[in-house]
């Protein structure tokens, strides 16, 4: 199910982010594989690194430190900075954790992300899985 969730989120990201902005999926760097990164038209996250987490318990609990460390670590790869056109800049890349939440819409609402309390540039947003 986590792989299907990743693909569902990819479809949603690509449907919400419009040209000339873009999303890369499963980019490999430093022997690790990022779920997504790219640029967007949204003011809060003009560029981003994102990770899909099939963890419904995030609805009522905070994001686990290990997941924050993972996505924040991905956002520090120099190859990510190069691909985003940020080489040599001293900027934090916003990190987005996308999790399952059946009380959210089935459409990814990137304009309604919320900041993870106690962290700079770490955001989360829920998305509902399609139902029959």
What CA–CA distance (Å, rounded) separates 98 from 56? 11
Dump pLDDT digits (tens) for 23-50: 999 999 888 999 999 999 999 899 999 9
* Structure confidence at residue 88 (pLDDT): 83
Query: Is 43 domain-assigned?
Result: yes
Arithmetic mean of pLDDT, 65-87: 95
Give the start-end residues of each E strand in 1-132.
Answer: 23-29, 32-39, 47-53, 95-100, 114-115, 122-127
| Per-residue confidence band for 107, with pLDDT thresholds at 50, 70 and 90 | very high
What CA–CA distance (Å, rounded) separates 72 from 66? 10
* Structure confidence at residue 108 (pLDDT): 93
DSSP 40-70: -S-SS-SEEEEEEE--GGGGTSPPPHHHHHH
Query: Is 132 domain-assigned?
Result: no
| Per-residue confidence band for 131, with pLDDT thresholds at 50, 70 and 90 | confident
Query: Is 106 domain-assigned?
Result: yes
Arithmetic mean of pLDDT, 56-69: 92
Arithmetic mean of pLDDT, 112-119: 92
Range of the domain at 42: 2-127
Q: What is the CATH number of the domain that holds 69?
A: 3.40.1350
Q: For the beta carbon of residue 3, count every other beta carbon within 10 angstroms.
A: 9
Tell me the average pLDDT of the chain: 93
Fill in the DSSP letter of residue 94.
Answer: P
């Amino acid at each position: 199910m986590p792989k299907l969730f990743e693909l569902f989120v990819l479809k949603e990201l690509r449907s919400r982010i419009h040209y000339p902005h873009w999303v890369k999926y499963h980019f490999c760097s430093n022997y690790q594989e990022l779920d997504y990164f790219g640029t967007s038209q949204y003011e809060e996250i003009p560029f981003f690194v994102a990770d899909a987490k099939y963890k419904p318990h995030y609805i009522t609990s905070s994001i686990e430190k290990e997941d924050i460390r993972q996505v924040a670590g991905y956002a520090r790869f120099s190859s990510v900075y190069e691909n985003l056109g940020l080489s040599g800049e001293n900027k934090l890349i916003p990190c987005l954790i996308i999790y399952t939440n059946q009380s959210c819409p089935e459409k990814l609402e990137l304009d309604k992300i919320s900041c993870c309390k106690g962290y700079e540039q770490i955001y989360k947003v829920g998305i509902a899985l399609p139902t029959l």
